Structure 1
C-alpha cells in the first residue's frame, strides 16, 4: 500500500521508502552502521542519456565522486554489512569498471568479484539477451562486474542461499553435505528480459534484472535486512527487497524516475 502522508519527494510503499534526493545527501542523513546490504549501480560515466544527470564528467572528477560515495556507504554499513556494486565498461573505456572498484577501496575491502553474464554463446546457439553495439572494432559486451565489498573482507555469507543442486547426488553423502545444495560460484547468468519499448524498461535507460539484487540480498544471510540503493533508478533493488519481505530505502535524484519506481513498487507483491 502506498503511504501518501509523507512530505513531497518521499514515499513509503509496503516496507520500502523512496526519497527524491541525490545520493550523498541521502546517505548523510542515514544513521551510521544501520544498513545490512547495499545493492546499487551508479552511472558508468559513458554517456548514457539520463533525464537529470550528465553522464560525462571528467574522469578524475567522476572517480573522486565515486570514492566519496564509497566512503558514505561504508559509514552507513553495519560492521558485517555488504555492498554489491554493479559497474559496466565499454570498448572505448575498458578500465572504468575496475577503476570505480578501486575508488571504493579507501574504506572497503573487495571480498568477491562476481561476473554477471547477460548472454552466452554455446556452439551455434546463444542464450540470453544483451544490449547490442554497432562497431567494427569491438565485440558485443555480454557481461558486467558485480563487486562485493565489506569492511573487513572476512564477512560470512550464506553461499547455499543462492546455491544449486548437485549434478552427482552421490557427492551429498560422500562429502558430508547436509542437503542437496552447493555453491553456485561467482559467475551469474542473468539475462535481460526481451523488451519492445521503453515503457517495458520503466522508461529508464539502464537497469538490471530483479533477480540480481534478490541474489545479493539472499547471499548476505541476514534475517529482516535493511536494504539500500543510493542510485535507485527504476526501483529494481527495492522491488527485490519487497518481494523478499525485507525493508528497503532508495535515493533517486530524478523526480520522474522516482515516481515510476514508486508506481512499480505499488504493483509489487509483498514477500
Structure 2
C-alpha cells in the first residue's frame, strides 16, 4: 500500500497532485458552523465559504479520474438546515453532477414485526422548543458525468424475506440486495473523547468503508481525503488493503493522531 499523509492547506497541497491520480474521494470539510477546531477558523461569511468550497472542489475534480466518485459528507445545525443544500448547489453549478444522495443515520428507533421498539446508535441531544434531535447527515455522491457505474451489491445486505431471491430474476440467485440510500452507521462507543476522538467533527471508519465497497474497485482503489482530520479514511484504507491513499490535514496535532491510529493497525 502506498500511503501519503500530507501536512498543509488543501488549497496548496492539492495542486501538487497529478491530474487523474485518484479514483475515489471521501471527505467531510468544515461546516462553517463555528466548530472549535485547533487551527482552522470555522467562521466566515456564507459567500466566502461557498467560494472556498468551489476552489478546493475544482482541484478535487482535477485529480479525479473520469470514472471517479466523490463522496461528500455534510451535516447541518437545526438552526441552519439549508447549509448542506447550499454547498451542494455550489459544487454542482459547474463542477460536478449529483448522482446519488445518501442519508447517514446516526441513531434510529424501529418497530419490529412483533411490535417491539428498538433504539440504536448515538446522537447529540439538544435542548430546544423549536427543533428535534438531529440524528442524520448527508453523503452526496458526486461524479463528473452522472453515469459512473457502482457495485450496488458490494455494499449490499441479505434479503430479509429469502423467498425474494428466487422470485426476482435480477437477484441472480444471490442472497444480497442493494442497501439503498439510507445507511445506519453509528459511532463506535468510546470511553474518553479527549484520548480516543480528539477532534470536534469526525465520521466513522465504517462510513468510508461503505463508500469504498460501493465504488467497486476493491484493493485497486486510489483514495483521497483532503480533510483528513484524525484519519478515519486512512484507517479505512489500511483495513481494506487499498492500493493507494492520500490524506491532507492542516493541523499537525490531528495529523499526528492519524498516524498513531494507523500504527495500531500494524
Q: What TM-score do you get using the length of structure 1 for normalisation?
A: 0.91
Q: CA deviation at 1:17?
A: 1.4
Secondary structure of the residue aligned to 1:148 is strand
How does 1:219-258 map onto structure 2 within 5 Å? 219-223=214-218, 224-246=220-242, 247-258=244-255
Most deviating of 15-24 and 144-153:
15-24
Does the 8 Å CA contact 1:161/1:221 hold for their aligned counterparts?
yes
Q: CA deviation at 1:18?
A: 0.3
Give the whole-Å Cα distance in 2 for the aligned partners of 1:151 and 1:95: 24
Give the whole-Å Cα distance in 1 for the aligned partners of 2:127 and 2:25: 33
**Which ranges in structure 2 are unaligned for 5 or more consecutive residues?**
112-116
**Which ranges in structure 1 are unaligned for 5 or more consecutive residues?**
1-13
Which residue of structure 2 aligns with residue 8 of structure 1? none
Most deviating of 133-142 and 177-186:
133-142
Give the whole-Å Cα distance in 2 for the aligned partners of 1:209 and 1:201: 12
- 1:107 lines up with 2:103 in the alignment: no
CA RMSD of aligned residues (A): 1.4
Secondary structure of the residue aligned to 2:53 is helix
Secondary structure of the residue aligned to 1:68 is helix
How does 1:206-221 map onto structure 2 within 5 Å? 206-221=201-216
Which residue of structure 2 aligns with residue 199 of structure 1? 194
**CA spacing shift, 1:135–1:89, aligned 2, 3 Å:** same
Q: CA deviation at 1:173?
A: 2.3
Q: CA deviation at 1:125?
A: 4.1
- 1:89 lines up with 2:80 in the alignment: no
Which residue of structure 2 aligns with residue 116 of structure 1? 104
Give the whole-Å Cα distance in 1 for the aligned partners of 2:18 and 2:189: 39
Secondary structure of the residue aligned to 2:201 is coil
- 1:144 lines up with 2:137 in the alignment: yes
Give the whole-Å Cα distance in 2 for the aligned partners of 1:219 and 1:27: 25
Q: CA deviation at 1:202?
A: 3.0
Does the 8 Å CA contact 1:202/1:260 hold for their aligned counterparts?
no
Which residue of structure 2 aligns with residue 131 of structure 1? 124
Q: CA deviation at 1:200?
A: 4.6
Give the whole-Å Cα distance in 1 for the aligned partners of 2:141 and 2:70: 6
Q: What TM-score do you get using the length of structure 2 for normalisation?
A: 0.92
